Copies of this chain bind each other. A is one copy, B any other.
Amino acid sequence: MTIKFNVIAEDNSTCARLGKLRIGRNELETPVFMPVGTQATVKGLTPEEVLETGGRIILVNAYHLYLRPGSELIREAGGLHRFMNWPGSILTDSGGFQVFSLAQLNKVNDSGLVFQSHIDGSYHEFTPEKAIQVQMDLGADIIMAFDQCTGFGVNYEEAREALRRTTRWAERCLQAHTREDQALFGIVQGNFYPDLRERSLKELVDMDFPGYALGGLSVGEPREEMQKILSVFGPKLPVDKPRYLMGVGTPEDLLEGMSRGIDMFDCVFPTRTGRTGSLFTRQGRINIRNSRFKNDFSSLEEKCNCGVCTGYTKAYLHHLFRQKEILGMRLATYHNLFFLSQLMAEARQAIGRWDFAKYKNEFLAEYQ
Contacts and interface: CB of A to CB of B under 8 A. Distances in A.
Interface of A: 39-41, 43-47, 68-69, 73, 76-78, 83-85, 294-295, 297, 307, 311-313, 315-316, 318-320, 322-323, 325-327, 329-331
A224 B363 CA distance: 67
Given A69-B315, A69-B319, A327 B85 contact: no
A316 to B, nearest CB: 6
B323 A39 contact: yes
A323 B118 CA distance: 13
- Across chains A and B, which 8 residue pairs bring their CB atoms closest together, nearest first? A44-B326, A85-B311, A41-B327, A69-B319, A39-B323, A41-B325, A73-B295, A85-B312
A27 B19 CA distance: 52
Contact of A41 (B76, B320, B322): B320
What copy number does this chain have within its complex?
A: 2
18 contacts: A39-B319, A40-B319, A41-B320, A43-B327, A44-B327, A46-B330, A46-B331, A68-B319, A73-B295, A73-B315, A77-B297, A77-B313, A78-B297, A83-B313, A83-B315, A84-B316, A326-B326, A326-B330
Given A45-B327, A325-B39, A327-B44, A316 B85 contact: yes
A294 B325 contact: no
Nearest to A68: B323
A78 B294 CA distance: 14
B44 A330 contact: yes
Contacts of A76: 295, 297
A294 B74 CA distance: 11
A77 B297 CA distance: 7
A326 B325 CA distance: 11
A340 to B, nearest CB: 20
A71 to B, nearest CB: 12
